[in-house]
Amino acid sequence: MRPWISAASGALFGLGLLVSGMTDTTKVQGFLDLAGAWDPTLAFVLGGAILPMALAWRLAARRPASVVGEPFPGRPTARIDAPLLGGSVLFGAGWALAGFCPGPAVAALGWSGASGLTFVLAMLAGMLALDQARRRLPALA
């Protein structure tokens, strides 16, 4: 049952990214260009994600386990540290330069051509490099 729920959730997420315009790199870069030709339409997409997620967190807090019986993950720490800040800077720079973040990049693989594939491969290489660095330098964990 869990693989089917995961596949349906991923497909719904990808469809939402596609319909909302989050897979359109020019729209994303226009949203991030506050000093130039700013396109505020993605603010509605981001804002529209807050309400369902707030409801989902409230419902999850009342349940002992997920629908498939797995425990819910713990609350994230509120600590602001170097890995959080560094990761945020890298994420933001990559999003602004390429117009992709991980979810939309994977959702756009079918039509984004070589640039989308290059982004996803570079993203995967970065994830592997970070994993290796964390194994060698526990302070990065």
Interhelix angle 82-98/113-136, rounded to 10 degrees, is 170
What dihedral do alpha carbons 89, 93, 99, 104 form, nearest 10°?
Answer: -30
Spans of all domains in the chain: 2-140
55-84 pLDDT, tens digit per residue, is: 988 988 888 888 888 888 877 888 898 888
Alpha carbon 134 to its chain's center: 21
Dist CA 132 CA 126 (whole Å): 10
- Helix segments in 21-112, DSSP class H: 25-32, 41-62, 82-98, 102-107
On whether the CB atoms of residues 97 and 123 are closer than 8 A, the answer is no
87-116 pLDDT, tens digit per residue, is: 889 888 888 888 888 888 888 888 888 888
Q: With 0.85 as the threshold, say if the pTM is over it.
A: no
